[in-house]
Amino acid sequence: MAKSTKVNKKKTAKKNLSVVDALRTVVADCYALMGQTHLCHWNVEGPSFFALHTAFEEQYTELFTAVDEVAERVRALGSYAPGGLSNLAAMAGMKELPEKSPAEKMVQHLATLHAKLIADAKTARDLAADVEDKETEDLMIGRIEVHQKTLWMLESYLKG
């Protein structure tokens, strides 16, 4: 095998590892966001209780499916998906909301976490594009769309 071919394979492997690392961050983000959304679902109070309780349930249910899809993509790329609550929390680096928080603060908190997840998913998407991993790129585009829509809804609520 030519020396330049070996160098190119090493560069590709390093780029693929970057994609996997970025996807592992997205797994952690999704899991942490799911936990925070569930916390808000359980503890929301006030005049917006019914609407927010229902919205938060839809969001954490969607996230449960999403985290599985992203973790399975990590496995399909030949790596292991992260796990363990403390490990996922550390990887995500997302601040946790106190259990007793006003509804508006819950919505603002979740909006902030969705924005972080969007940024991390964009990083994974761009790294996947660099190595022509269309499947990962497509998965991240889908995740970005979901989180952008959710962010828009949360921010719209805060304008009221």
Left if phi > 0, otherwise alpha if psi is -120 to 50, otherwise beta: which for 78?
A: left
Kindly indicate the confidence band of residue 10, based on its pLDDT and cuts at 50, 70 and 90.
Answer: low
Structural domains of the chain, count = 1
pTM above 0.85, yes or no: yes
- Confidence category of residue 7, pLDDT binned at 50, 70, 90: very low
Closest Cα partner for 97 from 31, 48, 37? 37
Burial of 30 per CB tally in 10 Å (0-12, 13-18, 19+): buried
CA 98 to the chain's CA centroid: 21
Mean pLDDT of the chain: 93
Q: Is residue 41 part of a domain?
A: yes
Q: What is the pLDDT of residue 15?
A: 63
Q: Quick one: pLDDT band at residue 115, thresholds 50, 70, 90?
A: very high
Note the pLDDT of residue 8: 53
The rounded distance, in Å, linking the Cα atoms of 58 and 118 is 18
In a domain, 82, yes or no: yes
What pLDDT sits at residue 16?
85
Domain that holds residue 55: 12-158
Domain presence at residue 71:
yes
- The CATH code of the domain that includes 133 is 1.20.1260.10
Q: Is residue 5 part of a domain?
A: no
Label residue 112 exposed, middle or buried (CB < 10 Å: 0-12, 13-18, 19+): middle
Is 65 among the domain residues? Answer: yes
**pLDDT tens-digit profile of 67-98?**
999 999 999 999 999 999 999 999 999 999 99
